[in-house]
Structure 1
Amino acid sequence: MNAAGSLRAAMVAAWLAGATAAALAGPVAGQGTWETKLHARDVDGNGSTDAFYDSALNVTWMADWNGPGLIGFEDALDWAANLNVAGLGGWRLPGMTDTGAPGCVSGLDHGTDCGFNSDTSISELAHMFYVTLGNLGRVALGEGCAALSRPGVDPEDGLELGAANSAAQSPRLSAHAADLLSRQASPLVQQR
C-alpha cells in the first residue's frame, strides 16, 4: 500500500471510529415510541435484560440473537423455530407481508416490502427501527433524498456506509438507540 493509500485507510478508520461512537450515544426522550412501547424483560431471572417486549406489535425481541453466528436464511429459520430461552419457545424471524407486486417496488422516497423505507405497517423490523426507535432512514419519506455522505467522504469511492453514515446525518439514529441497539435489539421475535 502506498503512502496515499495508508493515509486514506487511516482517515477511513478514524471516520469509522467517530461514526461508531456516535451510534452508541444514549437514549433521547421523545424520539420514537420506545419509552412507552418497548419493555425490558429478564427472561431467565439472572438480573440482566434478555429480551424486549414490544407492546405495539405484541412481540418480544431478543436482546442478543447472535447465538449461532453467521448462518444462511434456511438455517436461521430452523434455529429460530427450535430456540428455547429459559423455557420459552415459539421464536421466529420478524415478519414482512409480501404485497404481491412483481419485483421490488422501491425508490428513493418510498418502499413497500423491500428497498429503502420499507412500509412499517407490513414489516416488523421496519416498525422497530423507524417507529419504535424513531430512527430516520437515509431517505426520509416525503422529504426526498437526504445528504448521502459526510463532508470529505466520497460515496463514489465506496465509503458510504449505510447506517454508520446516516448516523452522521441523523441525530435520531445516533442519539437514542444505544440502550437497545448496543444489546443488539434483534430480528428474532416471539409472538405473544
Structure 2
Amino acid sequence: MILRTLSLLRSLQGANDTFQDVQGRVQRACDYRWLRGELASGCVTAWHSVLADGTPALGITLPFAATRQRLRGGNWPTDAAARERCFVTGADACRAAGAPGFRTLESLSQGVVHGGINVMRDAARFAYLQEHQALRLTWRSTPSLPAELTRRLPGAPGDGDGWLLLEVRVPAPSRAQTQSDHLDGEWLDARLDHYRRILPPSATR
C-alpha cells in the first residue's frame, strides 16, 4: 500500500511541485470525496445565494450532531450565544464536521485508495469550492434550526449539544432545474465541472 501511494504521489508531482504540494492535492481530493458522500443528507436552505465572484448558487446545508468530540476539535466557545456567532470556513469546516485528515504517509495511503484515479479532478473540484468561499460551518441549537432541516432530522442529536451545519454553496442556474435533480454526488460533480469549464484556466487550476 505504501509503495502504491509513493508511486501515485510521484505521478501527481509536477516539475515544480514539492511533496507537500502533492500531499495537499491528495488531501483536497479526499475532502471532496467525503463531501460528495455526505451531500445526500443535506437539503437546500437558500435558493438565491451567490459564490464569492457573484455566480448564482444554491445553499445546501448538511447537518452533523455537535458531539463533544466535534466541539473539542473545532474549539467552539462553551457559551451558546457566543458559539452561534462563530463559524469555520474551507477545508477547516469539513475537518470540524468530521472529515478525516491524512497526516502520515500510511494514513495518506488510505486517502489515495478512496480517491482512486480521480485525484486530480476531485482536488480541482474541492479547490473550486475553496477559492469561491463556498464552505462554511456554523453551530445552531435544535430550536433554531431551519425548518427544512428540522423535518429531515430523526430527533435529538444523541450525546450532542445542538448541531453543526455545513453550508455548501453550489453554482446552479435555476430553482426549477434543481428541483428536478437529486442532491447527490453525481449532481455535485456535474455542477462544479460545468462552472469550472467556463472559467479561465488560471481560476480552475
Q: Same fold (TM over 0.5)?
A: no
TM-score (norm 2): 0.29
Task: Decide which structure has greater strand share.
Answer: 2
Task: Decide which structure has greater helix share.
Answer: 2
TM-score (norm 1): 0.30
